[in-house]
Structure 1
Amino acid sequence: MGTATTIVKQVYEAFGRGDVPAILNLIADEVDWEFVGSTNLPYAGRRKNPKEVADFFAAVAQSEDIHAFEPREFIEANEHITVLGWEDTTVRDTNKKFESEWIHVFTVKNGKITRWRGFLNTAAHYGL
């Protein structure tokens, strides 16, 4: 396990504790952070700095009640880490529960996350 994987695992540990400041400490001052999904999702879209990434986490917390969030597999390719995971969540606006596998792709350079992409089954999110 390389340094990049260690840093990414620290992100998930902090997320599990609800410690967003610890996550932000692992993000570069200039970052390319994007959840790929419908513009109907309040946390979808691109962020470029730690403040905007903090807004991403606030939007997730405001829109969803996450019951289980499990990173299950870490695939390392030098500075690139792909994480396969699963979640069990309730959408706050609709009170609909959904489960989805997800994929997160990180790039870590000089000990900081410089790029992140997140994907999940948005159709499940909307109960489709």
Structure 2
Amino acid sequence: MPSPKEVAQATYDAYRRGDIDTIMGFMAEKVDWKLVGPPKLMRYAGQRETHPEIRRVFDQMAEDDTIQVFQEREFIEAGDELVVLGFVKGYTVPAGKSFETEWAHVFTIRNGKITRWRGFYDTATRCC
């Protein structure tokens, strides 16, 4: 069985390839998923639980953002819990606004499946 770090790394690699099916394969049937931030700045922010809802998040991200750099920089493991610190650079498609910021992802991964995920980054870099 893959470690939480291996699961997270595989999902990041799949994200960079645009392989959402692989990402979804690492999700538990029901996931406590939340990208923290204001939906008025990121329509894909908010709470999700089902595979179709989470898949829609990735669709909306692809429609709204062009990512130029997406890097994981540090993995902090604690049993089934994992914190990943990273960096993203890109621009918003509707407004053409450049952004770059550090981010933090918090995972709970049990039996090789993501059961909980939280994403945090500086949303002010998208608007102001």
**TM, length-normalised to structure 1:** 0.95
Alignment of 1:1-12 (within 5 A): 3-12=3-12
Alignment of 1:46-65 (within 5 A): 46-65=47-66
1-structure distance, mates of 2:71, 2:99: 14
C-alpha distance after superposition, 1:16-67 (max 9, x if no partner): 1110000000000010010000021111011101111100101111110101
Q: Secondary structure at the match of 2:91?
A: strand
1:31 aligns with 2:37: no
Q: Secondary structure at the match of 2:14?
A: helix
Q: Percent of counterpart pairs with the same letter? A: 40
Q: Secondary structure at the match of 2:28?
A: strand
2-structure distance, mates of 1:120, 1:57: 16
Gaps of 5+ in 2: none
Question: Which runs of 4 or more aligned residues in structure 1 lie more than 6 Å from their structure 2 counterparts after TM superposition?
Answer: none
2-structure distance, mates of 1:91, 1:3: 34
1:25 is matched by which residue type in structure 2? Answer: G
1:123 is matched by which residue type in structure 2? Answer: A
Q: Secondary structure at the match of 2:105?
A: strand
How far the C-alpha of 1:7 sits from its partner, in A, is 0.7
RMSD value, Cα:
0.9
Q: Secondary structure at the match of 1:24?
A: helix
Query: 1:94: which partner in 2?
Result: 95
Q: Secondary structure at the match of 2:39?
A: coil
2-structure distance, mates of 1:111, 1:121: 29
2:83 is matched by which residue type in structure 1? Answer: T
Gaps of 5+ in 1: none
How far the C-alpha of 1:125 sits from its partner, in A, is 1.1
How far the C-alpha of 1:113 sits from its partner, in A, is 0.1
Q: Secondary structure at the match of 1:23?
A: helix
Q: Secondary structure at the match of 2:53?
A: helix
1:43 is matched by which residue type in structure 2? Answer: Y
